[in-house]
Amino acid sequence: MSGEAHITGIAVEEASRGKGIGELLIIGSIELAMARDATVMSLEARVSNFVAQALYEKYGFLNVGIRKGYYTDNREDAVIMTTQPINDAAYRNKFNALKDAYRQRYGEIKMELP
Ligand SMILES: CC(C)(COP(=O)(O)OP(=O)(O)OC[C@H]1O[C@@H](n2cnc3c(N)ncnc32)[C@H](O)[C@@H]1OP(=O)(O)O)[C@@H](O)C(=O)NCCC(=O)NCCS
């Protein structure tokens, strides 16, 4: 949608989880959304998926509602999560601080935006 970047899904193979790869995917998605002048970002996550929700909350996604029966496999509800405006100074400062912390923990971030 105009001005809104929507993440349809991210996943890391099971053996590689807990090593910062999911976080790097979110950092890359936010960088891409900023480069394309998106105003906000949104996504859905299973209500039971607390790991994914923790990752998204770390990057400023807030729980703004529920989509009842969103997932077709088991009719599980989805949590709708959106960011505050990502072009605001407040969000950019928070994002830059998170990227600095990521670099200190995992090393330099190298990515090429498509
Ligand atoms: C969600 C997923 C992508 C996270 O990827 P990952 O590479 O394991 O995550 P990272 O190592 O980058 O962790 C980043 C953050 O995620 C959260 N997180 C990761 N593992 C967690 C765990 N076991 N328990 C709680 N929070 C966790 C934390 O907020 C973590 O930040 P922290 O290390 O500062 O606490 C991964 O678990 C996955 O692929 N899950 C299956 C698919 C899925 O659920 N996708 C999301 C669909 S909406």
Q: Which fold has domain 4-104?
A: Aminopeptidase (3.40.630)
pTM higher than 0.75 for the full model?
yes
**HSE, side-chain direction, 13 A CA sphere, residue 11:** 4
Residues known to be catalytic: 44, 56
DSSP 46-84: ETT-HHHHHHHHHTT-EEEEEETT--TTT---EEEEEPS
Residue 23 Cα to ligand 1 midpoint, Å, equals 7
Atom of ligand 1 nearest to the CA of 7: 48
Atom of ligand 1 nearest to the CA of 46: 48
Kindly report, residue by residue over 38-72, the tens digit of the pLDDT. Answer: 999 999 999 999 999 999 999 999 999 999 999 99
